[in-house]
Structure 1
């Protein structure tokens, strides 16, 4: 039965209002990022009098955001690569081999996600301190990987359980090694699930603030989120630079999402169904 036109209009209107409401904070951030210092002192001015790019120049050069950006990019890319590779290996092993206590192991992996992040701060700190990795990007990367990997495994398992494993068996009959089977057969088929997992791992590491604030002391090793927080002063805040930094921090995630959007939707849908 065809849906009435009036109902479609109502649905579209409601969705549009919700979308605009969700986009309003980001639009406000972008508008503020292009305001000149004079615009902040002009009463009743919402839109900038002209596009002022000085905030981006100041935050990128004077506030050392270029260095913070590189640190975050290094950490996020490394965490994503490690989590994706280990998740593929773990899911392949769980699906292809008879492992004693497999369900218990999977539940144990899921159980690690039940602890609040702040509760793990002290154990993480003492562990990194014992191996002299406090105030290092390597130690921070290991921390990110440890709490991101369990969820990545569970996300990808939902997809791997529904893969046509007959193709892997056919490849083995044709003489492919396990590595060749995974690389040539499994990974191309599982691309949507891998994309969803990779994007989650990247965003998790890119947006993390608490552990970076606790473990990193050296200014040159700060991440982008710590750099943004450092723009908030005790008595005054440069809102133009702060919002410019927020816009810069969103750009990599938006670019990455635009490239893998189709695979992301397919991967999330597949990962939500357990085979």
Structure 2
């Protein structure tokens, strides 16, 4: 009897469980997309059905009829891109510093990064509001009603997680590789960007996904810091247009949410390809 036959029932059960969990997780997304394509009458029906025989694009037309939707989209894209790039570069340099160098209060600094992750974002929103207001009086471009007031807090909240994750990747690179590079005449900067950076690229991809998703889906900071300058609002704020006193436009809400989800999926596909390219570059080095 083959030794693999005894594992088949357990493997089948594990696969069935994985499919069940995937179905449970994917069902809200399916319902969101379905509601976006349903006619208004079916969306408001008190007998919802998990299908539609009369798909419609009216909800998407109402979304695109909003004049500021495109501007909100570009604002969200700009804020997310800046946060991803800046947080990844700063986290890479910081993780290298706390891993490769010995200095006073290094352990204390790492613990502060960890403690920062435990503080709820909601508890810091009001202090950050006053901080952004005061910064606007001294530093142009980062005060309230500016995109800078969204970029800075998201970078600050992304860095602790990114540094802790990248620290493990940097530590996994043997120090003998660094010594060999120095013996071959490579400078510290050359080793940092030509050898170490490709090797920790998978960690950069993981932190970039976290930073992008948390920034792209942010509603709390956008609602708190963008008060009067609606031209600087981000995409989640566009959903408020469909909440009305005479009745919420659930079709429009689901259509806008579907459109908001597409860039996240596209970004994930792009970083998946970048992950493969980064691993290939690391092997070549």
TM exceeds 0.5? yes
1:243 corresponds, among 224, 237, 254, to 254
TM-score normalised per structure 2: 0.86
Residue of structure 1 equivalent to 2:69: 65
CA RMSD of aligned residues (A): 2.2
Contact 2:235 2:260 in 1 (8 A): yes
Offset, 1:105: 0.9
Aligned residue number for residue 174 of structure 2: 164
Which residue among 38, 43, 53 is the counterpart of 1:40?
43
Q: Deviations over 1:30-62 (max 9, x none)?
A: 111112234436675632333322322321342
- Name the residue aligned to 2:263: 252
Say whether residues 1:184 and 2:187 are aligned partners. no
Structure-2 change in CA distance of 1:234 and 1:209 (3 Å): same
After superposition, residues 105-184 of structure 1 pair within 5 angstroms as: 105-132=109-136, 133-184=143-194
1:208 Cα offset (Å): 1.4
The answer as to 2:214 corresponding to 1:210 is no
Q: Structure 2: how far apart are the matches of 1:177 and 1:28?
A: 55
Q: Deviations over 1:109-146 (max 9, x none)?
A: 21122211111112111111112101110121111111
* 8 Å Cα contact 2:69-2:235 kept in structure 1: yes
- Displaced runs of 4 or more, over 6 A: 262-265
Structure 1 distance, partners of 2:65, 2:187, is 50
Structure 1 counterpart of 2:140: none
Aligned residues: 266
For the structure 1 residues 59 and 179, does the alpha-carbon distance in structure 2 shift closer, same or farther, using more than 3 Å as the test? Answer: same
SS of the counterpart of 2:62? helix
Structure 2 gaps, min length 5: 137-142, 279-285
**CA distances 1:155-190 after superposition (whole Å, capped 9, x unpaired):** 111221111232222222222222221111011111
TM value normalised by structure 1: 0.88
Asked if 1:28 corresponds to 2:28, the answer is no
Alpha-carbon deviations, 1:77-111, whole Å to 9, x = none?
A: 10111100000110111122221121111111211
Q: 1-side partners of 2:45 and 2:11: how far apart?
A: 43
Please list every run of 5 or more consecutive structure 1 residues that lacks an aligned counterpart in the other structure: 268-275
* One of 92, 97, 109 as aligned partner of 1:88: 92
Q: Given that residues 201 and 275 in structure 2 are in contact (C-alpha distance below 8 angstroms), is that contact kept between their aligned partners in structure 1?
A: no
Instruction: Please tell me whether the aligned partners of residues 76 and 234 of structure 2 are also in contact (alpha carbons under 8 angstroms).
Output: yes
